[in-house]
Amino acid sequence: MRLEKQNHLTIVLFVVYMLLLISIILFKLPFYSAELSDGIRVINLIPLQGSFDASGVIVFREIRDNILIFIPFGIYLCLLKNEWRFVRKAFAVIALSLTFEVLQFIFALGRTDVTDILSNSLGGIIGIAVYATLVKIFKSRTNKIVTAVGLIATIYVAARFAHLFYLNHFVMRQLPPR
């Protein structure tokens, strides 16, 4: 894969990733419903406070999901801005996570939660570390390999997203209520 074509493909994949990220975090797609956005603005500044179930047991699912969804951002940041130092990349990850939380608050699209900022930031930093590890393993072939894997992953995630969106908005809405 020529470098120029690879860079264009990386940018396209990054844009698709960002569109999916925005739709998932801000608009709660593919599962959006009126019940998810009640128009109430809530800010939680205490880490892990909203992460417990009714019996007081911590539920790691949302934290895990927030970490996983931001790992690609750290990897894409390294692919596109490899010349940046680690601190600048980490700042970009934290800034994006904070931006999402502020937008959720402004538009009352969800709960603004410091735990989300922390877990999203951790995910992005893990992505940066994954890329650094891959560079040590694959050396000059890293960008080509990561872009190829990113293409496959993006196709899979976009297809899965579209499938879940279809099921949630077209199939499930046609079922009779219980």
The residues with which 112 forms a beta bridge, in sequence order, are 43
| pLDDT digit string, tens, across residues 28-81 | 776 655 555 566 777 777 777 777 777 777 778 888 999 999 999 999 999 999
Q: How many Å apart are CA 123 and CA 94, to the nearest integer? A: 10
Q: Is the pLDDT score of 129 beyond 90? A: yes
Distance of CA 1 to the CA centre of its chain: 27
Relative orientation angle of helices 86-106 and 114-138, to the nearest 10 degrees: 150
Q: How many Å apart are CA 164 and CA 101, to the nearest integer? A: 24
Beta strands in the chain (DSSP E): 43-44, 112-113
Choose among 45, 49, 76: nearest CA to 62. 49
Q: What is the three-class DSSP state of 27?
A: coil
Give the pLDDT confidence score for residue 96 in this predicted structure.
97
Give the pLDDT confidence score for residue 67 in this predicted structure.
94
Sign of the CA dihedral running 56, 40, 116, 127: positive
Q: How many Å apart are CA 109 and CA 103, to the nearest integer? A: 8
Averaged over 157-178, what is the pLDDT? 74
The first and second tokens of residue 74, run together, are 């750290």
Sign of the CA dihedral running 103, 105, 109, 113: positive
| pTM, to two decimals | 0.84
Q: Who wins on pLDDT, 45 or 102?
A: 102
